[in-house]
Structure formats: structure tokens, C-alpha cells
Structure 1
Amino acid sequence: MRIHFTGVKGSGMSSLAQIYKQKGHSITGSDVEESFFTDKLLYKAGIEVLPFHEKNVQQVDIVCASAAYGSNHVEIKAANERNIPVLTYPMMLGELTKEYESILITGTHGKTTTTGLIGSLLMNADMDPTIVVGSYIETLNNNARYGRGNYLVVEACEYKRHFLNYTGKVMVVTNIDFDHPDYFKDIRDTFDAFQECANRLPEDGLLVVCGDNLARNLRANCQMVTYGLSQENDVYAVKKGMGKFAVYAFGKYMGDMVTPLIGEHNIQNALAMVCLGLYYDIQFDILQETLSGYAGVKRRLELKGHLKHHLVYDDYAHHPTEIRVTLHAVKENYPNANVVSIFQPHTYSRTKRLLHEFAQSFQAADWVVLTDIFASEREKEKLVDILELVEETKKHHPRVTYIPKSEIIPWLEQMSEQMEDHIFLTMGAGDIYKEGEKILQKMLLSS
């Protein structure tokens, strides 16, 4: 089959394109000229990326279109005129889930890390899974993996109820929190979406939920297992110092695990993996090896490098809960360091709706730097100004500074000369990570 991917550089789209290519289909793709981390992955997979043009879809059987583009896009319009089926990314991925015993990894936070962990576990257990994930996984050296086994591990996004397109036997819910205010009305609407997805599980399926948050209230017509830090869960952990914890399952001590991942939220993510290991009867030593050897995910508490006597980290955190747990994790791991949080809010709608929550999420930081809001292409109206967030955050934190994005590099240079033993942590779902990379590259060239 000839499939064309419109917007192929997207993290999910590029992952799906690679899978269908390895399944034997003829794949083409198109996108903007701007460089993305997926460029190298697509080149390595032998997928040519063309400029957008109506001729790209003239000789294809299906067009898979990114959610970023609507019916007026030149390629989508041309496909519709030729009666060529146009499927969105969730629809196309939904078709793929029907071909496997699919494991859906969802939740407001932690999806990517948990998908990577569970995918790695099934690989180490010789189950040869296919994996579709929303970011670069170090263990995979990719954001996708095509396997010959019967298992598909999918990062399943809740936005616009996309995950209702997927057919899964197993569903993992890391947490339920209010996000995507441009779509969900409130936390009740958000919860209902997850419940709708859980209702679709078969009677012989499995629902795995983190019992430390609202996800514990989900119900399903199949087996249900809870995990978390609370001992009320079916599977829980007891911390035994930095990077080590004991695992208990259904009242039985399973053994100790060592994790290279920072933060209690990553212990919870690891416990989700343990639940899948128990379900598929995987030996505990394979679970231990999978976690201890897990190299992590791009832009998830990623150590970017050293800046003189300082460390530069980056994280995808773009929600108050994510900011709070990320800063807490860094402070716990580096108790004597001064943590400088450099946050770029993502979308006007999220910033406006969660303004007060954002303002109170930086308690663990020693210094809060806020920079210009990264707007979504969908947003036509500037709903809030960054200075509103600055003023609100000052009510809860003694050291808050606004720095325009264009001035972050010189500010970092100045601060690195004046201070010692600091951690500079860039956070946000936009392009703030590039500032950390730029300053490190600049220091390298000048040394």
C-alpha cells in the first residue's frame, strides 16, 4: 500500500511512518523545512521528506494527516478532491492497534517514560514488541520500534479523546489531572474521557492505574490492578535511599530495584512496568535489569551538560504538576545546589486557565526565571500576558525574574561567571531547550 504522511516530522507521525515502512508499505512524507530531531530518524529509515505540494498525494492509496493541519491544507484538499482516504494520526494508529495485543499507556503525565519502560521490558523478555512513542527513547535509539511479536506498546494521548480510536487489551493510566483547557471543560470532563477509554477494554483485559491519584476511581469490566507509593495499592514501593526501593505485590515482598531515574514520580512509572511484568509472568530479575539499565527519554530530566561549575538540565514539564514534581526531584537529588528554573509557558489557553496553579508550582526552586509564552499554531488570540504570570508567581516566591527569550543566553553567561554549583533547569514543551543547548555549545567553542 502507498501511504503519504502529511506533517511527517511530528514525533508521533514519524514513529508511525517508520512502523508502516518496516511493515512493507511504500511510504512518503512531507513537512516544513524547519529542522526537528526526527529528521535523522526519517533519513535513517529511508523516508524522504518533501515540501508540501498537491502532487505528493496523486499516486497514493491513503493520506495520514497530522492534527496540526486542517481540510484547507493543500495536500489534504487535493486528496479529498481525488477521493483518496484521509486518516488522522489517531485514526491511523487505531488501525494498527487492531493488528496486535495492544498495550495503551495513557495519563496526563508520565506517558512517554512509562511507554519506554514497558516497551524495554517486553524487549528484554524476548517478546519482540512493536513500540510507538511520542519522543526519542535512548534505549531504542529511536521513537519507534518494529517487532515481529504479537504485542504493540502505544503512547495513547487523551487530548481530544484521541485514545478512543485505539483498540487495547491492556490500559495503563499513570494519573489523571486537568490539562488541555482548550478542549476539556474541567477535571470531571477529563476523568470521563479516561473512563470512556477504560470502558472499551475486553473482559479478559487488564486495567492498571496509579492508586496515588484520581485514576484510582476508574472502573472497568475486567481485572484491575493499582500501583503506587501508598501501601493501600496492590503493588507498592518502599524507598530505601536514593535510587533504591523495595517492591511489594499483593502482600508479598518481590525484591529491591535500583533506578537511574530521578524523582518519586519515576518510581511510580517503574511500578507500572512491574504490574505489566506480573501480568505477563516475566521474571523479576528481568524487571530489575530493565529499570537499572534504562537510559531515559529525551527531554525528561535530561542532563544536557556542564557549564563551568554548573549543571544544565532540561525537562518537558509544561503543567503545574509536572513542574512541581520535576523541581522536587532535582532538589532531592542535589540538596546542596541552587536550582534555577527557566520556564517557558506553553500555549495561552493553558497559561490563562492554570495561572494560579503555575504561580504556586515553583516552591522547590531557588530562583524562578519566566520567559515568553510559546503559542500553539491553533491559537489566534493572546489570552494572557507573561507579566501576569510573573506578578502572580511573585506572590508565592521571593525570587522571580522575567527575561525575554532573546536575552536568556547572555543572562546565563553572566550568571555562570558570578555563581557556583547551580543547576540551570530549562522547562517547557516549546523550544526553551534550545537555549540550554546554545549556551553549552557557545562555552565549548570558546574553551
Structure 2
Amino acid sequence: MKIELAKTEIIHFIGIGGIGMNGLSLIMKGMGFNVQGSDIINNKNIDRLKKNKIKIFIGHKKKNIEKATIIVVSSAIKKNNPELIQAKKKQLPVYKRGEMLAHIVSLTKNIVVTGSHGKTTTTSLLAGIFSKTKLDPTIINGGVLNSLKNSAKLGKSDWCILEADESDGSFVQVPSTYSIVTNIDREHMDYYNSMNDLKKLFIKFINKVPSFGKSFICIDDKNNNELLKNIKIKNYYTYGTNPKSQFYINNIKQLKEFSEFDLSIKLPGKKNILIKKIKIPLLGMHNIRNSTAAAAVASTIGISKKIIKQGLKEFKGVERRFNKIFTYRETSFYDDYAHHPTEIKEVLNGVKTAYKDNEIICVFQPHRISRLKDLKKEFSLSFKKADTVILCPVYVAGEKLKLGFNYNNFAKDIMKNSRVKLFLVNDEYQLAKFIKSNIYGKKIVIGMGAGSISSWMRVLPKLI
């Protein structure tokens, strides 16, 4: 679909190397928009953009936006960014990523996935089911789908499956035909003043779903349950392991190779349906819930049981979601994006259930000082299903905040509250040295965090 719209505009993305900005810029380029962008460093996302002939500037400088007529800014960009300051000086229109995303998908039938955790995997699972149909949706995801080797794909139909990020509040502007709310948790409190503010925005998002669409809400989540009391028009379906769920998960099996469950569907005015033995190549209850959300939407829009089961069973996964990266002396090493206490607990619960007899070592790199300060106690309690924690320095992600507490005392809190052995390392070299000296036999080592920990884990084979 080549378009003539905005032909004279040059759209500049500040922070184009972030996964969400990356996907949006690729889709806009594919639609015929003139797109460019800047970021502080080269990364895999930047390489993908260059292959698609998108002009990239490394480093944020005033001159990068000389020819730009519209600015799209990542939620990670601070107000003192020189390009953002210059754009305001030039009185250029400046849009948040979520606002631009809302404009781009305003003419399509959208399945919008939001929530504090599980968005990327749920979006990817939906894309996996749709890939088995003749519907060819546009996909805009917050992670790289292994099947696409990309986070975005421009489809030929008028369907769009997209992840909407709640970090800066702009997700409410994304128009949805169908929406999924996975859960609501204490996250991004640097933007929201309170949990109440966050919940109000989710209510607004759910209420915006049109009468001919539907919201799908997981009622295993306490905060989601509270929301339902404040939604006057009951234009939603519920899912979960809660027996009151309209898409009810039961007969669960969790094994090393796959998880399996049945899905009982009881909707008002419709015949009851049972989808038996749904298999997913993923671990953990969180992924069973994510798969159920995808199956619920697919079933509601008329995709057959057979295709739903095939799409889920043949799911190829998402980068940085419990991906095995190498084996060393019989120990398996994994990479995971978990960077919030809830995510850490869910991943560890899933691994412990499937690998009952294996020792679990978690290499944790806290992400953002603001998050660590806000959830310090919750973090200290989140490693109970691990045997050992290797604690790395905080990845500050550009924040210029003071920690305000002793990091060694935080380490002691983890040991005490999660009842684990704990070791501190300062960099990937110390981590490699520790692994070389201490790790062997049938163990599971998981690198966790949203910062540079993925690179640390992937460079380990060269260092050990």
C-alpha cells in the first residue's frame, strides 16, 4: 500500500533504536512515508533500519533535524535532548510514539494488546495464529518475533495486531476494535503519580472499544478485577484460571518441552465450546494466560479451533523471552527480559515447575534507579524460586538519580527475604570468572533485565 499522503514531510524519530520506535518507523517506511532517525549508539535494531534504507544519525545533534518537518519522540528521551529542544525552537510538531502509532493505525481493524506484563508475547502469539490464516495483518510489536526476524511487518489486509505501551499514557489514543488487558501492576511510576492514575487510564482505554468490538481482560489479576467494577458497559470477555472466567483455563500440564491446557468457552447467548489439549512451546502460567488471550480473540473473530491450536503449537518465540543461548559443562544458559518483580517471579515459577530437579541461578541486572527505589522490597522477595542470585550493578538507562540506599544492604535483603545465596559482580568479566569457577552440572542460568545483561550473557562463551 504505497501512499501519497504526507509526501513532502520528513519524519524524524528521536531514539529510533528502541524496539517500539524501530517497528513503527519500519511500518511507516513501508507505507511510503519519508522516515529518518537518530540514536546514541548502533544496535541490532539500527542495523535492521539501515537494511531498509532508513537514514540514521548516531548521536543526538541539532543538525540532525535540519530537514525534518515532523518529530516522533521515544518515551526514553529526556526533555534536555538537543534535538527535542531544537524542534521546539523551530516550532515543529512533536508527537509521542503512541500518538503517531494511533494516527498510523486509525484506518485499520486493530487488535491492541496492553498491560504491564506479557504484551510482547501475547502480540506475538496472536501474530502466530494469524500467520496460519489467509488474513495478512500488519504487525507492530515490542519485541523481535523469531519467525519474522523483526518486530514489525506491513500486511496487505486491513487488520493490524499491535502492542500499545502504557509507559507514557499515550496508549489510550490507539484506536482498538479488539483489545487485551493482560494485567496492571505498579510500573512506570516516574510517569504516573499513583496506581489510581494508572487504573483510570486503563478504564478509559477499555471504554473506548467500540460496540462492534470487544475487550479481553484477565481476571486472575487483582487490579484488573477492581477495574471491572468501574466499567459500566459490559462490552468485554474475561479469561484466566479463575472459574468465573468466560475463557476458562483448566487441566494444566507444565513440562520442560511444552505446556498444555484445555480452554472452556462460555459466552452469553452462545453455544459452549471446549478446545482440548492446547500445546504451547513455552514455560510458565504467565504464558498459558498470554496464549489464552490470543486464542480468545482469534476464536471471537471466527478463526477455527484447528488453526488456533496449530498457530500456538508452532509458535517460534520472541527474542529475549527465556531464550536458550548456549550450554557449558551441562549447564543451560538463558536470556530473559524480566526486569520487574512480577516478571521475575513468573519466569522463576515456570522454570521451577518444569525443571524441578535443577539448580536455578539468576543473573540479575536491575533496570532504572527509579524502578529499584520504588519496588525495592518487592525485588528482594522475588527470587524465592531461585537457588542463587548473581547481582549486577544497576543499569541506569540515562537516569541521573541517586540510589539513596546502600547496594550491599539491598543484596542482603534479597538473601534474607528470598532465602538465596547471593554473589555480587561488577561486569561481564567478573561474571565469566564466577561461572568458570562455580558452574557445572545440570543447572539453569538465567540472565534477567532490560539493560545490557543480554549482551553480557551472549558474550560469555568467548570469556569462559
Separation in 1, partners of 2:404, 2:397 = 12
Residues of 2 paired with 1:314 and 1:433: CA distance?
6
Which residue is equivalent to 1:40?
Answer: 47
User: Which residue of structure 1 lines up, in the alignment, with residue 226 of structure 2?
Assistant: 217
Matches within 5 A, 1:46-61: 46-51=53-58, 52-61=60-69
Q: Within 1, Cα distance between the matches of 2:87 and 2:372?
A: 36
- Within 5 Å, which residues of 2 pair with 1:151-300? 151-214=159-222, 215-219=224-228, 220=231, 221=233, 223-241=235-253, 242=255, 243-250=259-266, 251-300=272-321
Shift of 1:71: 5.0
Q: Deviations over 1:216-270 (max 9, x none)?
A: 3334435211111222211122235332211211143222211101111100000
Letter in 2 for 1:216: N
Say whether the 8 Å CA contact 2:384–2:420 is kept in structure 1: no
CA 1:191/1:311 → structure 2, altered by over 3 Å: closer, same or farther? same
State the Cα distance separating 1:210 from its structure 2 match.
Answer: 0.7
The whole-number CA distance in structure 2 between the counterparts of 1:218 and 1:126 is 36
TM-aligned CA deviation for residue 50 of structure 1: 1.8
The CA deviation string for residues 130-181 of structure 1, in whole angstroms up to 9 with x for no partner, is 1111111112210101112112222111123121221212210111111223
Instruction: Quickly say closer, same or farther: Cα 1:358–1:77, change in 2 above 3 A.
Output: closer
% identity of equivalent residues: 29
SS of corresponding position for 2:321: coil
Contact 1:125 1:286 in 2 (8 A): yes
Indicate the SS of the match to 1:440.
helix
Q: Is the 8 A contact 1:216 1:226 kept in 2?
A: no
CA contact (8 A) 1:413 1:439 kept: no
Change (3 A) 1:244 1:425: same
1:403 alignment partner in structure 2: 425
Could you list the per-position Cα deviations for residues 410-446 of structure 1 after superposition, in whole angstroms to 9, with x for gaps in the alignment? 1111123xx3111111111111122211112335xxx
Partners of 2:75 and 2:167 within 8 A in 1: no
Q: Secondary structure at the match of 1:160?
A: coil
Whole-Å separation in 2 of the counterparts to 1:379 and 1:102: 38
**1:49 and 1:113 mapped to 2: Cα distance?**
28
Q: Provide closer, same or farther for how the CA distance between residues 6 and 295 of structure 1 changes in structure 2, counting only shifts above 3 A.
A: same
Q: Distance in 1 between matches of 2:85 and 2:426?
A: 39
> Among residues 95, 99, 117, which one is paired with 2:125 in the alignment?
117
Work out the CA distance in 2 between the residues paired with 1:375 and 1:177: 21
Change (3 A) 1:83 1:181: closer
Query: Per the alignment, do residues 77 and 352 of structure 1 end up closer, same or farther by CA in structure 2, a change over 3 Å counting?
Result: closer
Residue in 1 that maps onto 2:3: none
Distance 1:331 1:301 in 2: 13
Letter in 1 for 2:261: F
Q: Which moved more, 1:68-77 or 1:348-357?
A: 68-77
Residues in 2 aligned to 1:75 and 1:92: alpha-carbon distance in whole angstroms: 18
Matched with 1:371 is 392
Gaps of 5+ in 2: 1-6, 267-271
Once superposed, what is the RMSD of the aligned Cα atoms? 1.8
Q: Tell me how far 1:56 sits from its aligned partner.
A: 3.2
Change (3 A) 1:398 1:84: closer
In 2, the alpha carbon distance for the partners of 1:145 and 1:383 equals: 43
Write out aligned runs for 1:134-153 (5 A): 134-153=142-161
After TM superposition, the score normalised by the length of structure 1 is 0.93
User: Is this contact kept in 2: 1:348–1:384, CA < 8 A?
Assistant: no
Is residue 2:105 matched to residue 1:97?
Answer: yes
Q: Structure 1 268/392 Cα, relative in aligned 2: closer, same or farther at 3 Å?
A: same
Query: What's the counterpart of residue 316 of structure 1?
Result: 337
- Show structure 1 runs of 5+ residues with no match: none
**Please, which moves more after superposition, 382-391 or 199-208?**
382-391
Whether the aligned pair in 2 keeps the contact of 1:128 and 1:147 (CA below 8 Å) is yes
Report Cα offsets for 1:337-357 as digits up to 9, x if no partner: 110111111112221221111
Structure 2 CA distance for partners of 1:360 and 1:146, relative to 1, 3 Å: same
